[in-house]
């Protein structure tokens, strides 16, 4: 099986076409897709038509799927989540909630966060609803040498509901919250497959830097977030129906935009795959 590829952003993101994931790729093609993801951080596979079981089967070739209760699931597959313009904080105030409305990396509140996220465009609005990505390799590499030396050994406490969070998050049951204790992760992590160093930030989940007083911690985190989310590190994905976008949470940030016309629907299916504790 072969496919065509094209660069989407100057420093990250690529699209592939000419492949039907309804027929699982052979080993060589699958490795080529994984290599393309490692090279580009964000990979878009165009023009797919997959039901939830087929989507899950194709994404399972990239890693072991993980179940997340914070999002609704499809009736056919509990491991395929639904992200919709109709999402509400059902256990809280019942108001509309935009999942991922601010810069973040998925799952950093977990002690072993997911490695990859796969989002499949089922219904796409006529305009808006883009997903933005930021390259954390490039953001780290562009820091002054003295700043890198300062932050390399630092660790950060991450929480599901951080006091620094920038957007509303869904209310979870007490037993589920008890199963998500705070996690401590390095501020700079080494990718287990590429060996490259990247900033590991999550503005919506980071609580404080271990060993710094709160004011200094907040100041440094704010400075790094502002640096890492500059436009020069970003790629903005304009969705097409049938796109499957796969990104590497170990070296990117991303955010959703809910700027589509009132009354239009945006519906995505999502799979995440297992990762390891950041180092």
Check if 104 is active-site: yes
Distance of alpha carbon 90 from alpha carbon 170, whole angstroms: 8
Q: Output the CA torsion sign for 212, 215, 216, 221.
A: positive
- CA-wise closest residue to 112 among 227, 275, 243: 275
Distance of alpha carbon 147 from alpha carbon 141, whole angstroms: 10
Check if 23 is active-site: no
Catalytic residue among 158, 185, 250, 254: 254
Q: How far, rounded to the nearest angstrom, does the alpha carbon of residue 223 sit from its chain's CA centroid?
A: 21
Reading the block at residue 140, the tokens are 């780290």
Task: Provide the total of helices (H) and of strands (E) in the chain, helices listed first.
Answer: 6, 16
Q: CB neighbours of 274 closer than 8 A, spacing ≥ 6?
A: 63, 64, 65, 66, 112, 114, 115
What is the spatial order of strands in the sheet that 206-209 belongs to? Answer: 183-186, 155-158, 206-209
Q: CB neighbours of 234 closer than 8 A, spacing ≥ 6?
A: 9, 132, 133, 134, 135
Where are the alpha helices (H) located in the chain, listed in sequence order?
Answer: 27-40, 52-59, 136-141, 145-151, 174-178, 214-228
Check if 38 is active-site: no
Check if 270 is active-site: yes
Catalytic residue among 46, 79, 106, 237: 106
Catalytic residue among 104, 185, 191, 266: 104
Residues with catalytic function: 104, 106, 254, 270
């Amino acid at each position: 099986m072969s496919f065509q590829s094209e660069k989407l952003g100057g420093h990250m993101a690529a699209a592939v076409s000419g492949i039907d994931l309804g027929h699982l790729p052979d080993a060589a093609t699958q490795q080529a897709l994984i290599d393309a993801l490692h090279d580009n951080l964000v990979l878009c596979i165009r023009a797919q038509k997959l039901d939830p079981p087929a989507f899950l089967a194709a994404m399972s070739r990239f890693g072991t799927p993980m179940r997340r209760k914070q999002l609704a699931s499809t009736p056919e597959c509990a491991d395929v989540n639904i992200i919709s313009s109709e999402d509400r904080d059902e256990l809280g105030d019942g108001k509309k909630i935009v999942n991922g409305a601010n810069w973040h990396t998925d799952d950093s509140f977990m002690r072993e966060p997911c490695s990859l996220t796969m989002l499949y465009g089922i219904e796409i609005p006529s305009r808006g609803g883009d997903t933005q990505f930021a390259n954390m390799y490039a953001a780290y590499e562009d820091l002054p040498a003295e700043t890198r030396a300062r932050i390399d050994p630092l660790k950060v406490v991450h929480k599901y509901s951080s006091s620094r969070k920038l957007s509303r998050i869904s209310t979870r049951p007490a037993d589920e919250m008890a199963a998500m204790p705070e996690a401590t992760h390095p501020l700079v992590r080494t990718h287990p497959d590429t060996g490259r160093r990247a900033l590991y930030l999550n503005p919506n989940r980071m609580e404080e830097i271990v060993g710094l007083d709160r004011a200094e911690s907040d100041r440094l985190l704010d400075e790094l977030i502002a640096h890492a989310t500059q436009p020069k590190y970003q790629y903005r994905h304009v969705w097409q129906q049938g796109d499957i976008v796969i990104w590497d949470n170990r070296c990117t940030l991303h955010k959703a935009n809910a700027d589509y016309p009132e009354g239009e629907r945006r519906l995505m299916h999502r799979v995440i795959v297992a990762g390891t504790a950041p180092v």
